[in-house]
Chains A and B, each alone.
Chain A
Amino acid sequence: MSLLDTPLIPTLTRALDLTSQRQTLVSQNIANVDTPGYHTRDIDFRQELQRALPDDEAVAAGPFVREVPGLIERPDGNNVSIDRESLLMAQNQLQFQTEIQLLHSEFNRLQLAINGGSGQ
């Protein structure tokens, strides 16, 4: 642990990684909205974050990607729900923004400490 490592920074880094990986999956699902036989894929964000936090190996291996159960399948075998994916995309985007803001404010706090509390 270096001087500039606060407890929050690794957590936020992992969370940002996972959020962008989730966005990749959402994009994949949206890209395959017309592919016959394609099944929606996703990750369990909370579970993956808990798994990735203490363990660097788990981060290197990447998250478990699973097929989402309980979606209605069309006759061509595709079960991508446009509503689910659009909402998830919006939610994921806001989550990403939140994590970026938190990381930014964490760096601002460090800056404050470096300057001895005399502003930036």
Chain B
Amino acid sequence: MSLFSLFQISGSALTAERLRAEVATSNLANSETTRTPEGGPYRRRMVLFQSQPGARFHLLLANSLGETSATVTGGVEADQVVDDPTPPLLRYEPGHPDADPSGYVAYPAINPVQEMVDLMGAERAYELNASAVQAAKQMIQQSLQILK
């Protein structure tokens, strides 16, 4: 356990929050997209956050017995991006090239307000974690003061 593990923890959150911002931006950018490589309209994506296992008993035990030096950080990970199962919105546009036989075009069910709120949330969380990194940096620098 050292002060340097703070960088891993906050770093994992910076990565996760950036992914969340990227996904929200991509949702906004594709709010009118009717064609995708998978076929059909774009589907809204969501990021799933999961906390990394923190100080678990077996890890601590192994560490204290000197068997491993596994890091026991408890950051966050966002490795899963899932599709929103909400059905697409149908708009009546018979002249549209992607209209179905009855003249309806499927548009992604994306609410810009929701995406903006998500984007702002990710931004603020990123800021907060960046200041945690700053704090860790300062503490390490302060501990070097003992040497002077």
Of the 9-residue stretches B80-88, B101-109, B140-148, which lies at the interface with chain A?
B140-148
Tell me the smallest distance from the CB of B96 to a CB of chain A, in Å: 37
Given contacts A38-B51, A89-B132, A100-B146, contact A31 B10 (CB under 8 A): yes
B47: nearest chain-A partner, CB-CB:
A34
Complex Cα distance, B148 from A62, in Å, reads 29
Q: CB-CB contacts of A42-73 with B at 8 A, as 1s and 0s?
A: 00000000000000000011100100000000
Q: How many residues of B contact A (CB 8 A)?
A: 39
Main SS at interface, chain B: helix
Interface residues on A, range: 35 or more
Which of B2, B5, B6, B121 is close to A34, meaning CB atoms less than 8 Å apart? B121
Identify whether the interface residues of A are mostly helix, strand, loop, or mixed. Answer: helix
Q: Nearest chain-B residue to A86 (Cβ)?
A: B128
CA distance A92 to B135 in the complex (A): 9
Query: Which residues of B in the span 99-123 have a Cβ within 8 Å of any Cβ on A?
Result: 121-122
Whether a CB of chain A sits under 8 angstroms from the CB of B27 is no
Among B119-139, those with CB < 8 Å from A are 121-122, 125, 128-129, 131-132, 135-136, 138-139
Chain A contacts for B128, CB-based, 8 A: 30, 33, 82, 85-86
User: Cα distance A23–B50 when bound, in Å?
Assistant: 21
A23 touches B55 (CB 8 A): no
A97–B142 CB distance below 8 A: yes
Q: List 11 A-B contacts (CB under 8 A).
A: A21-B1, A24-B5, A28-B51, A30-B13, A32-B13, A32-B51, A34-B17, A34-B49, A65-B55, A86-B131, A97-B142
Given A23-B136, A24-B5: 18 more A-B contacts, CB < 8 Å: A16-B143, A20-B1, A24-B6, A28-B51, A30-B128, A31-B16, A31-B132, A32-B75, A34-B20, A34-B121, A34-B122, A35-B50, A38-B51, A61-B60, A93-B138, A93-B139, A100-B145, A101-B145
Interface residues of A (CB under 8 A from B): 16, 20-21, 23-24, 26-28, 30-36, 38, 41, 60-62, 65, 82, 85-86, 89-90, 92-93, 96-97, 100-101, 103-104, 107
